[in-house]
Amino acid sequence: MINNNNNNDNDHNMITRRCTYCNAQSVYHRQYSGEYLCSRCFTKSIHRKVAKTISKYSMIRHGETIAVAVSGGKDSLSLLHILSNSASKHANRLIAITIDEGIRGYRDESLAIAKEFTSRLGIEHVILSYKELFGKSLDDMLTFRKGKNLSACSICGTFRRRAIDIAAKHVNADVIATAHNLDDMLQTFLINVMAGDVERIAWMYPEPIEYADGLRKVKPLMEVYEHEVAFYALINNIPFQSEQCPYMNEGIRSYIRDFINRLEDEHAGIKNNMLSTILKISKVLRDNLRFNRGRCMICNNECSNPKGICSVCIMRMSIDAYANK
Ligand code: SF4
Ligand code: ZN
C-alpha cells in the first residue's frame, strides 16, 4: 500500500483496505481526499482529472495536433501515455518532441527511454539538440559562465522553451503540451514571488494564450500531485530515467520542493489549496496586466521584453561575450 503522504509509516500497520469504488484490494491511499484506490481506479482517477483540466481551461480542441514535450522523465512519459489514451476519441494527433540539451552522462539514458517508449506507443518522435539549434551544448554554454550567478536551469530553461517552439512549428502543431505537475506550479509561483516577477505569475494562469504564430501552450498535469504522477508511471509500467541531471540542485527549486512536501506531510491537501489560490491571483493579474508582445529585433521571435530583444538572444549574447574573452 502506498500512501500519498511522503511519510509512509502511517499505513504500514493498517489492515488491508479495499478500494473505495470497486472493493478490489487498494494500493494507494489518497490522503487529502481519504480515498483508497486499487490500481485500476487510481489510473481512471488520473485520466478523469486530466480530462477535466483540459476541458475546464479549453486547453486542447478536437482534431488538433499536439506536440508533447518528452524529456524521458516520469512526468513527460506519463503525460504522453495519458494523452495517447484519449487522442483517438478526440481525433488528436500526437507528436513527441525531445530536446537534447547536451548534458554528458545524463541525456543519453533519457533519449533511449523516450525513443523506446514513443515507438512502443506508435507515436512520431522528433529530436532536436541545442548544438544544432544554438551552436553549443548546455555543457559548453556552462563552461563560459562567470561564477554561478546564473543557474544552469535558468540558462537551460530559456533555450529549451525556444527549442520546443521551433520543433512544434516544424511539425505544424497547434498546441504544445508540457508535463508540469501541480508541485511544479507551486514551486514556480514561489520562485516568481521571490524574484518579484509579477508578469510571470500572470502568465501562469492556465487558459492558453494564442501566440502570434498560432501556437498555444498547455499543462494538462497541472492539477496532479507529482507523487501521483510517479505512482501512475509505476503502476502503468512506464519506464523512466533513474539518473538525475547533474545541475539539478544549483537553483532554489529543490529547497522549495522539500519545504512544500514537508507542509503537505503535516497538512494533507495544502498543495491543492495553494494551487487554487495561485490560480485566483494569476487570473486577476492576467485580466489586468498589459503584456508587451512585440518581436525580437534580432531573431524576430515573439518577445515580451520592452527593449525589443528576447531572453534567448540576450542569453546567447552574454555566453558569446564570455566565450570570446
Ligand atoms: Fe536543464 Fe536544470 Fe532540467 Fe538539468 S535540471 S535538464 S539544467 S532545467
Ligand atoms: Zn531574439
Domain annotation for the chain: domains and CATH numbers: 56-291 (3.40.50.620)
C-alpha of residue 279 to centroid of ligand 2, in Å = 30
pLDDT for residue 304: 81
Residue 174's pLDDT is what?
Answer: 96
Report pLDDT for 63: 97
Distance CA 261, CA 59 (A): 28
Query: Which atom of ligand 1 has the smallest separation from the CA of 71?
Result: 6
Q: Which three cell numbers stand for residue 228?
A: 501521483
Instruction: Using the atom order of ligand 1, give the atom closest to the CA of residue 246.
Output: 4
Ligand 2 center to residue 315 CA distance, Å?
9
pLDDT reading at 24 higher than 90: yes
Ranges 54-68, 173-187, 303-317: which has the least confidence:
303-317
pLDDT band, very low/low/confident/very high, at 13 (cuts 50, 70, 90) = very low
More confidently predicted of 109 and 304: 109
With a pLDDT cut of 90, the percent of the chain lying above it is 74
Pocket around ligand 1: residues whose beta carbon is below 6 Å from it? 101, 152-153, 156-157, 245, 247-248
Q: How far is the CA of 292 from the centre of ligand 2 (A)?
A: 14
Name residue, grid cell 538572444: 313
pLDDT at 230 over 60: yes
Per-residue model confidence (pLDDT) at position 11: 52
Position 294 confidence tier, pLDDT thresholds 50, 70, 90: confident
Can you give the pLDDT at residue 318? 84
Give the pLDDT band (50/70/90) at residue 212: low
Q: How far is the CA of 299 from the centre of ligand 2 (A)?
A: 4
The Cα–Cα gap between 286 and 323 comes to 39
Identify the residue whose C-alpha is closest to ligand 1 atom 5.
248
Instruction: Flag whether pLDDT at 210 surpasses 90.
Output: no
Best mutation site among 101, 150, 159, 257 for ligand 1, i.e. most ligand atoms within 8 A of its Cβ?
Answer: 101
Ligand nearest to the CA of 106: 1
Note the pLDDT of residue 292.
73
Residues 217-226: what's their mean pLDDT? 97
8 Å CB contact between 309 and 297? yes
Average pLDDT, the chain: 91
Choose among 223, 225, 212: nearest CA to 295: 212
Which residue puts its alpha carbon closest to atom 6 of ligand 1?
A: 245
- Give 118-160 pLDDT, tens digit per residue: 999 999 999 999 999 999 999 999 887 766 567 888 899 999 9
The yes-or-no verdict on residue 281 having pLDDT over 70 is yes
Q: Which atom of ligand 1 is nearest to the CA of 107?
A: 6
What's residue 2's pLDDT? 62
Helix (H, G, I), strand (E, B) or coil at 314: helix
Mean pLDDT in residue range 278-290: 93
222 near 53, Cβ under 8 Å? Answer: yes
Residue 99, classed as helix, strand or coil, is strand
Alpha carbon distance, N-terminus to C-terminus of the chain: 57
- Nearest CA among 189, 199, 184 for reference residue 303: 199
Report the distance separating Cα 241 and Cα 103, nearest Å.
14
Beta bridge partners of 70: none
230-238 average pLDDT score: 97
Mutation test of ligand 1: which of 245, 252, 254, 315 has the most ligand atoms closer than 8 Å to its C-beta? Answer: 245
Mean pLDDT of all residues in 180-193:
97
Q: Of 3-12, 238-247, 280-289, which range is least confident?
A: 3-12
Give dist(CA 194, CA 256) in Å, integer.
Answer: 11
Greatest mean pLDDT among 40-54, 146-160, 236-250 lies in 40-54
CA of 161 to the centre of ligand 2 (A): 12
pLDDT at 320: 83
Q: Which ligand is nearest to the CA of 184?
A: 1
Ligand 1 centroid to residue 174 C-alpha, Å: 26
18 neighbors 207 (Cβ within 8 angstroms): no
Rounded to 5°, the CA angle 71-76-82 comes to 150
Distance CA 232, CA 28 (A): 11
CA–CA gap between residue 50 and residue 38 (Å, rounded):
18
Cell numbers describing residue 324: 570570446
Cα–Cα distance for residue pair 154/152, rounded to 1 Å: 6
Of 49-58, 147-156, 196-205, 280-289, which gets the smallest average pLDDT? Answer: 147-156
Per-residue pLDDT, averaged over 54-67, amounts to 96
Residue with CA closest to ligand 1 atom 4: 245
pLDDT band at 7 (very low <50, low <70, confident <90, very high): very low
* β-pair partners for 126: 97
Distances (CA, A) of 45 to 95, 219, 225: 25, 18, 12
Check residue 10 and give its pLDDT: 46
pLDDT band at 19 (very low <50, low <70, confident <90, very high): very high
**CB-based contacts of 15: which residues, under 8 Å, 6+ apart?**
none
